[in-house]
Amino acid sequence: MRETILSCAIVDDEPLALSLLESYVNKTSFLSLNGKYSSAIQAMKNLTENPVDLLFLDIQMPELNGLEYSKMVDKHTRIIFTTAFEQYALDGYRVNALDYLLKPISYVDFLEAANKAVQWFERVSTQDEIDCIYVKSDYKLLQIELKKILYIEGLKDYIKIYTEDNARPILSLMSMKSMEELLPDSKFMRVHRSFIVQKDKIKIIDRGRIVFEKAYIPVSDSYKQAFQKYLDERS
């Protein structure tokens, strides 16, 4: 018998679609509805402090659309996009959506996507901690050992991965959020909008900045508390 129960929320500005998805969630035994919202703005106020496992997210919404909001949700939340416009499918996968449902949504399609989500969570909870990742760089797929990563720098459309054994960073066309989701929390932490560092590689802190040879990594205000807590636990 399946034991995994996923907390979920629904965001859709169409009342009928919102009600339909709510009815689908309520008759799916392994889903627990934690909230339903008629706009991304409304959802953001609640889900920032109380994130869910799974988010059913409409794309085409006023003020803040689903694609924009998906980049702001908690990194542990998986997203299933719902939309009436098929051309959004590619954009959906660019932000690491688990699945994409085209309206009108049947329960069969909904259940298939929900099953995909619960399988993802079950797989993650049972797998051994990873020791390497694969990233695309210059049209090649590169394997990078986690133990060799010093830090990651995020730029506008791509990231730079700095490692111990390479004088030049590895460039990859992906977002910081996508990279953060790949990395285990036990080894890495975000210290700035543009920087993720490997905890065990932090040897020098100079006036609130992390030093890697000639590079000085700032710790922004929004991450200072978590960073200080990490340091206090090891002092």
Residue 60 lies in domain: 6-126
- Per-residue pLDDT, averaged over 170-175, amounts to 89
With a threshold of 0.75, does the pTM exceed it? no
Same domain, 76 and 101: yes
Domain of residue 28, CATH code:
3.40.50.2300
CA distance 208 to 216: 10
pLDDT at 184 over 70: yes
Domain of residue 184, CATH code:
2.40.50.1020
pLDDT at 32 over 50: yes
CA distance 53 to 82: 17
CA distance 163 to 189: 16
Q: Look at residue 96 and give its three-state secondary structure.
A: coil
Tokens of 82: 């719902």
Whether 1 maps to a domain, the answer reads: no
pLDDT on residue 56? 97
pLDDT at 127 over 60: no
Same domain, 19 and 103: yes
pLDDT at 30 over 80: yes
- Per-residue pLDDT, averaged over 190-207, amounts to 94
Same domain, 158 and 212: yes
- Per-residue pLDDT, averaged over 88-115, amounts to 79
According to DSSP, residue 14 is labeled -
Same domain, 164 and 227: yes
Number of domains in the chain: 2
Contact, 78 vs 45, CB < 8 A? no
Whether 191 maps to a domain, the answer reads: yes
Q: Is 96 left (phi over 0), alpha (psi -120 to 50) or beta?
A: left
Last residue of a domain, one of 76, 99, 126: 126
